[in-house]
Structures are given as C-alpha cells and as structure tokens.
C-alpha cells in the first residue's frame, strides 16, 4: 500500500502546536521545582523515590493485614493473591476441621490436599471457634488490628457469628469488609453457590459448547477464581480510598456478576442479534437461522477475526494435537500462500473478510488439510514467523513441564512438610518492585500461638486461659457426643 503523504500544516495549526509546546515547557519547569522538594519529578505528596534496588523495598501491600475468613476456592483465591502482593494474611479456621478443602480430593493420605495447598500459599493459620465466647473475644481483638476482613460464607453466616457490619465498624471504623456471595441483592441473594452454578447463572454455560449440544461449563474457574480476582481489585481500591477518607467500606463481589463481566461480549451479541444475524458466527455461513438469544458458538473466535480449532499431526491418538488458528485479515495473503491457495488472495469470493464470512467452514477445512501435516508446535513456529496468530492446545502435562513457565515463576515447585513436593501456579501478576515468593500453605492452626503472642501481644497467662477455655481447639470426643 502506498504511504500517505504528510500534509503541510496550516498557519493556525502551527501556532497552536507552538503554544502547546510552550505549555509543555512551563509544566516541565514546575516539575523541576518539585524535584527539589521530593527528589525527582512531580511530588503529588509522594515520598522521595526509594534508592533501594527494585524488588528490595518491601512488597506492594506490605503493612496491610487481612483477617481471612475464606474457604473453598473463591475467597482463598483473593486472599492468596493479596498475600503474594505483600499482605499479612491470617486465615481463621474452625478448630479440628479447618477449611473443608484440606480434606477434599486428597491424593496423599492424612496430608492437606492439593485443592487446599494450591489456594492458600503465603498465609498464616489460626484456629478459632467463632461461636465460643472466648473465641469471639479473640476475633474482636483481631478485628481491631486488621485492615480487611475477607469472607465467603453462605449469606447470613457472618451475621450469625455476631460479626455484623455495625459490630465490626464500631470496633474498627477503618476496616474494609469484603465478601464473595453467589448473587447480589435480589431474588437469589440467600442461595449457596458453587462454581458451576455461577457459570450457569452468569451467562457462560448458555453461550459455551456447540449449537447442537447442551450448555457447557468451562474448566477455567471463572465463577470462583474469577470472582476472587474481582474481589481483590475491590479490596485494593477500598484500601486506596481509605487513605483519603480514613474509613473502611463494604466490598461485594457476586459470582453471577463476576461471570457476567467475563461474558461481556455475549451481552454485546445479545443486543446485536436483535438487529440482524451475527455474521461472524459460523452458524451464519452455514445458513442456520438465529433464534432470539445468543447461541453457543463452538470454537468461533468471539471477536472480529474468525478462528477455529484445527487438527494437527497425531490427532488420531493425541487428544490435544490441535491448534487454534485465527484468519486475521491483515495476514490473509500469507495464509493463502502457506496453505497452497494463492488464488484466494485475489479471488473476489475470498479476498475480503466480508466475502469469506459465509465460507468459513470450507476455509478452515482447507487450512486444516495443511495443519494436519504438521505438529502443533511446527504450525506455531511457521505461523508466528508470518505473524499469523495461532495457539497450540496445551495439555496440563505440557504446561506442567514447560520450562519457560517455571522460569517466570508462573509454575512453581513447593515443598510441604506432610505431603512433600508439589507443583502450583504462582502469582500471575508480575510487579518489578514487588516480587512474589511462593511459600507453602499453613498447617491447620500452625500459627495460633504466634498470632496471639505477636499480633495481639497477649501475655502467656491470657493465652493459656483462652486455650483452656476450648475456644481454639476442637471439642473433645465426649463433648461432641454429649
């Protein structure tokens, strides 16, 4: 394509540009003035830039203490992330039982499960019976010293423990109380919710899968882990606002809302479908009429650039010998050359994205003839050189063994005293001045004494008294039976 000639600027535009340059000069003068006061650049009331090497001046959230009442997956995802970012996370667990996932899907007898260990790194554990009078006393003291309380109990459970917003806020007006619930206020607000319920209620299941098949849930835990991520952002924002207002607030992330947020493009399509067919869906090319709501679109790309999953060499025996192939418009000519269809570059039936839409099935079948002659990694190598976006379908085995993911700390090997070495996913968010180390999850109640002594500064006599009351330990068998 011919390059556009630069147009000569009219006199007025030249004057305006000169003026704006002048403004830049003025503000840079101000910045130099501020440099004297704050060390470098504009101060914005910030301290002077640290002179310590990057990664050696604490962590992003150092100094923030979290009272972590979370269990199962959604809440623990959130607090694990905050722990990686530097928070001191104190996980409160029921004596004798702890987070129910400690014992779920166990692969090593009598050791904490991978379900638990992989969601609770970098935390401390204290056991407290939150319904015991002495346990309540300890919790009240912890509320006074923590910045954030995070919970994902069933609706009403926190209130039933006596930990209402009013009670917490009276003890500590600065405390942020963050909750995951299945649904926001409305007809379903009292429901207990797990991952797949949220995927269904948030619009994911109805739009996932193949048109001819039933709704499908996805393996990515968008309901649990996705909502945990949303909650973490809410907490960090509330912490930032608290710097200005001095007071805490409630943060709610409902799983239905979180899933819907991730399904935003499908609500986009719902509104488009009312105005005409969704031409980028392969259903359109196949001549299948659209109904009233967004259909399941199989492996269609969901964006403006058509894509599909194609077989690669070895697909007959390897269930993951596939590649995602995107026929991005700017590289169409390279695709045609690659698959041996050079005439498609100029043929009016294929040359434009619009002309290709009704023929996507045929086009992808032709591309697949080519991908089936190569392994998914060969396709990746060839296509990337040509700027053609493709993605190999990686199995979990391949991901676990991928050296580059180990190198970045995205996949980490952790040692654990009762279960030995295991693999986990490290912090996916990389900060250059707040580097995450992945520390093993705590044993049940491992830090009970340490927290009473070092966080609450309780004297040994008081600790002994609280322990003697039974507030921190599981009821003995006879008591349970009584």
Q: Assess 224 for contact with ligand CAO (CB under 6 A).
A: yes
> Which of 152, 208, 328, 424 touches ligand CAO by CB under 6 A?
152
Q: Are strands 307-311 and 322-326 parallel, antiparallel or unpaired?
A: antiparallel
CB of 205 to ligand CAO, least distance (A): 15
> Which of 65, 94, 137, 453 touches ligand CAO by CB under 6 A?
94
Contacts of 301 (CB under 8 A, 6+ apart): 280, 307, 308, 326
CB of 178 to ligand CAO, least distance (A): 12
Using CB positions, name the residue nearest to ligand CAO. Answer: 154
Q: Assess 15 for contact with ligand CAO (CB under 6 A).
A: no
Q: How many chain residues bind ligand CAO (CB under 6 A)?
A: 24
Q: Assess 194 for contact with ligand CAO (CB under 6 A).
A: yes
Q: Are strands 390-392 and 322-326 parallel, antiparallel or unpaired?
A: antiparallel
Q: Which of residues 42-81 bind ligand CAO (CB under 6 A)?
A: 72-75
Q: Which is nearer to ligand CAO, 195 or 280 (CB)?
A: 195
CB of 259 to ligand CAO, least distance (A): 12
Q: Are strands 411-414 and 422-425 parallel, antiparallel or unpaired?
A: antiparallel
Q: Which of residues 307-326 bind ligand CAO (CB under 6 A)?
A: none
| Beta partners for residue 431, in sequence order | 434
> Which of 153, 315, 322, 332 touches ligand CAO by CB under 6 A?
153
CB of 223 to ligand CAO, least distance (A): 7
How big is the CA angle at 60 (ends 413 and 77), to the nearest 5 degrees? 50
Side-chain-facing half-sphere of 468: CA atoms under 13 Å: 6
Q: Which residues are catalytic?
A: 224
Stretch that binds ligand CAO, among 20-28, 48-56, 188-196, 334-342 (CB under 6 A): 188-196
CB of 165 to ligand CAO, least distance (A): 16
**Cα 320 to Cα 3, 178, 221, 317, 392, distances in angstroms:** 44, 40, 20, 9, 9
Q: Assess 131 for contact with ligand CAO (CB under 6 A).
A: yes
Q: Assess 130 for contact with ligand CAO (CB under 6 A).
A: yes
Q: Assess 161 for contact with ligand CAO (CB under 6 A).
A: yes
> Where does this chain bind ligand CAO (CB under 6 A)?
72-75, 92, 94, 128-131, 152-154, 157, 160-161, 180-182, 192-195, 224
């Amino acid at each position: 394509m011919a390059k556009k000639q630069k147009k000569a600027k009219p006199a007025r535009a030249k004057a305006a540009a000169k003026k704006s340059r002048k403004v830049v000069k003025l503000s840079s003068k101000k910045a130099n003035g501020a440099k004297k006061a704050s060390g470098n650049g504009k101060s914005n009331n910030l301290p002077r830039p640290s002179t310590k090497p990057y990664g050696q001046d604490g962590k992003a959230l150092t100094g923030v203490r979290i009272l972590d009442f979370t269990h199962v997956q959604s809440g623990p995802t959130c607090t694990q992330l905050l722990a990686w970012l530097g928070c001191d996370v104190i996980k409160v667990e029921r004596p004798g039982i702890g987070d129910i996932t400690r014992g779920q899907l166990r692969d090593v007898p009598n050791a904490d499960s991978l379900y638990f260990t992989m969601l609770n790194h970098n935390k401390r554990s204290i056991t407290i019976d939150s319904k015991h009078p002495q346990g309540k006393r300890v919790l009240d003291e912890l509320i006074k010293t923590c910045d954030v309380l995070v919970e994902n109990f069933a609706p009403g459970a926190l209130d039933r423990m006596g930990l209402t917003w009013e009670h917490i806020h009276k003890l500590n007006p600065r405390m942020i109380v963050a909750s995951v619930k299945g649904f926001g206020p409305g007809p379903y607000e009292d429901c207990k919710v797990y991952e797949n319920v949220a995927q269904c209620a948030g619009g994911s299941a109805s739009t996932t899968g193949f048109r001819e098949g039933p709704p499908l849930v996805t393996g990515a835990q968008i309901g649990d882990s996705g909502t945990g991520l949303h909650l973490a952002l809410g907490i960090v924002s509330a912490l930032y606002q608290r710097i200005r207002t001095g007071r805490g607030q409630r943060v709610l992330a409902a799983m239905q809302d979180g899933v819907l947020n991730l399904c935003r493009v499908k609500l986009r399509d719902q509104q488009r479908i009312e105005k005409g067919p969704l031409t980028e869906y392969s259903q359109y090319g196949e001549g299948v009429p659209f109904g009233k709501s967004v259909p399941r679109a199989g492996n269609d790309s969901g964006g403006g650039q058509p894509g599909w999953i194609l077989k690669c060499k070895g697909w007959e025996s390897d269930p993951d010998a596939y590649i995602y192939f995107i026929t991005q418009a700017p590289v169409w000519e390279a695709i045609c050359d690659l698959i041996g269809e050079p005439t498609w570059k100029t043929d009016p039936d294929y040359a434009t994205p619009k002309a290709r839409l009704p023929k996507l099935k045929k086009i992808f079948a032709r591309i697949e003839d080519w991908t089936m002659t190569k392994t998914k990694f060969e396709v990746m190598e060839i296509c990337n050189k040509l700027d053609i976006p493709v993605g190999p379908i990686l199995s979990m085995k391949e991901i676990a063994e991928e050296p580059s993911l180990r190198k970045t700390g995205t996949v980490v090997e952790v040692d654990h005293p009762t279960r030995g070495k295991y693999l986990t996913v490290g912090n996916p968010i990389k900060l250059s001045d707040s580097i995450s180390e992945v520390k093993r999850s705590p044993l049940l109640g491992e830090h009970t004494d340490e927290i009473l002594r070092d966080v609450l500064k309780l004297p040994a006599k008081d600790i002994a008294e609280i322990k003697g009351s039974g507030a921190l330990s599981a009821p003995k068998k006879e008591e349970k039976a009584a």
